[in-house]
Amino acid sequence: MVASAGWALTADRVAKKPAGLDLPGLPGVIEAEMKAALDRLQWR
């Protein structure tokens, strides 16, 4: 539940106020996190 909420907040921040985020590094973080994520959190 917490991870899902965190990704929702990150997506909202990227869309509305991306300044200060490491946008080039974000895909790598997402890929690393998804490997260990529960099935319900993984993209299919």
Domain containing residue 33: 2-14+21-41
In the prediction, which pLDDT does 17 show? 94
- Alpha-carbon distance of 3 to 9, in angstroms, equals 10
21 DSSP assignment: S
pTM score: 0.64
In tens, the pLDDT along 17-26 reads 999 999 999 9
Polymer length in residues for the chain: 44
**Whole-number Å distance between alpha carbons of 38 and 1:** 10
Number of domains in the chain: 1
